[in-house]
A and B are shown apart, each in its own frame.
Chain A
Amino acid sequence: MPRMSHNDMHTREEVKRTMAVLDGIRPIEVHPGFRVRLMQRIEEESNAGALTANGIASRLNYRFALMLLLIIINLGSALVVLLQNAGDSAPAISEILGNFGDEYSSSTFAYYQEPAPYAGEPLEAAPADLQAP
């Protein structure tokens, strides 16, 4: 077994003593005012919490009001645009409907030829044997 040098022995001794400090730490006694301070802090925190909650509520109210205002402005501007376009678009629509009617009633798209009576020609007389007495 190799012999330990003086330095090594010293190092080991120091390490041992340092580790022993940890074992030698005595438990501390809690300060008598610990609980009083704790209860004060809890009270302060709950008060602050209530204030924060109120702050959040008022901030939410502001947001809600702002949102409502934006919606009203949007709806209002949409209505104005619609009303402005209403006058211009009315003839356009009737025009389109007129065109539509013309196109589909033209002879190109007709399903049948109009029968002769409707063409204004006189009806042919029935043969004599078939005529009623």
Chain B
Amino acid sequence: MTPREEQFRDIVQEHQEMVVNTCYRFVFNREDAEDIAQDVFIEVHRSLERFREDSKLSTWIYRIAVTKSLDHLRRLKRKKRFSSLKRMIGAEDPAINIAAPSRDNPEEALEDNERIQVLQVALDALPDSQKTAFLLSKQDGYSNQEIADIMETSVSAVESLVHRAKKKLQELLEDYYRRH
């Protein structure tokens, strides 16, 4: 094994848990999260020699994870739009698969699933910066400073983004539950 390969193996070993869970926070689906994480590490492998050490290696990797997750969500959004268009013209209606957080009780799992779907719709309505700051703040292991580094902004900006995201989500969810 070459030193480069060895270095890459160590990077994967060290960061895979955090990368997969970061992606999972965005997509709420284990398979998708692992697929995105694979893309993240392929990108890392491709660009490792170009990494300029302007930031920490971990920050750079998590930034790639966030970018790839957001890209995935955008693709999903486009797909959803296309499928609703298909529904309108009477074509097939592919189901959107969303995995719920694991629960022992199937009833609770189903309820969580529904809530996750509602949350996803609400999160989709947030701007990317608010969504990123909010979701990363919900994940263990990220300090506000780290989130700021990943987003290439200041800690105060992150705090403001999280606050605005919470407020907006609250409004969106209230609106949803009032109607349903």
Complex contacts, B12 vs chain A, CB 8 Å = 35, 38
Excluding A11-B177, A12-B174, A15-B174, 11 further A-B contacts by CB distance (< 8 Å) are: A15-B170, A18-B115, A19-B119, A21-B115, A25-B138, A27-B21, A28-B20, A28-B21, A28-B24, A30-B17, A35-B9
- Closest-by-CB residue of A relative to B17 is A30
Per-residue contact bits, chain A 25-38, to B (CB 8 Å; 1 contact, 0 not)? 11111110011011
Query: Quick check: B138 and A23 within 8 Å, CB to CB?
Result: yes
Query: Quick check: B140 and A27 within 8 Å, CB to CB?
Result: yes
The minimal Cβ–Cβ distance linking B31 to chain A, given in whole angstroms, is 9
The stretch of B34-42, B68-76, B90-98, B152-160 that contacts the partner chain: B34-42
Q: Binding site of B, secondary structure by majority: helix, strand, loop or mixed? A: helix
Per-residue contact bits, chain B 38-72, to A (CB 8 Å; 1 contact, 0 not)? 10011001000000000000000000000000000
A-B contact pairs, 18 of them (CB 8 A): A12-B174, A14-B173, A14-B177, A17-B115, A18-B118, A19-B170, A19-B173, A23-B138, A26-B102, A27-B140, A28-B21, A28-B24, A28-B33, A30-B17, A34-B16, A35-B16, A42-B42, A42-B45
For chain A, give the interface size range: 20 to 34
Query: Quick check: A21 and B116 within 8 Å, CB to CB?
Result: yes
User: For residues 38 through 63 of chain A, which have their beta carbon under 8 Å from a beta carbon of chain B?
Assistant: 38, 41-42, 45
The minimal Cβ–Cβ distance linking A50 to chain B, given in whole angstroms, is 14
For chain B, give the interface size range: 20 to 34
User: For residues 9 through 37 of chain B, which have their beta carbon under 8 Å from a beta carbon of chain A?
Assistant: 9, 12-13, 16-17, 20-21, 24-25, 28, 30, 33-34, 37
Complex contacts, A34 vs chain B, CB 8 Å = 16, 20, 34, 37-38
The answer for the CA separation of A12 and B171 in the assembled complex, in Å, is 10
Indicate which residue in A10, A17, A28, A35 contacts B30 across the interface (CB closer than 8 Å): A28
Q: Spell out B's residues near A (CB within 8 Å).
A: 9, 12-13, 16-17, 20-21, 24-25, 28, 30, 33-34, 37-38, 41-42, 45, 101-102, 112, 115-116, 118-119, 138, 140, 169-170, 173-174, 177-178
* A132 touches B (CB below 8 Å): no
Q: Binding site of A, secondary structure by majority: helix, strand, loop or mixed? A: helix
The answer for the CA separation of A127 and B105 in the assembled complex, in Å, is 152
Given contacts A28-B33, A38-B42, A42-B45, contact A15 B21 (CB under 8 A): no
Given contacts A19-B169, A26-B101, contact A37 B174 (CB under 8 A): no
The minimal Cβ–Cβ distance linking B2 to chain A, given in whole angstroms, is 13
Complex contacts, A24 vs chain B, CB 8 Å = 101, 112
The answer for the CA separation of A15 and B177 in the assembled complex, in Å, is 7
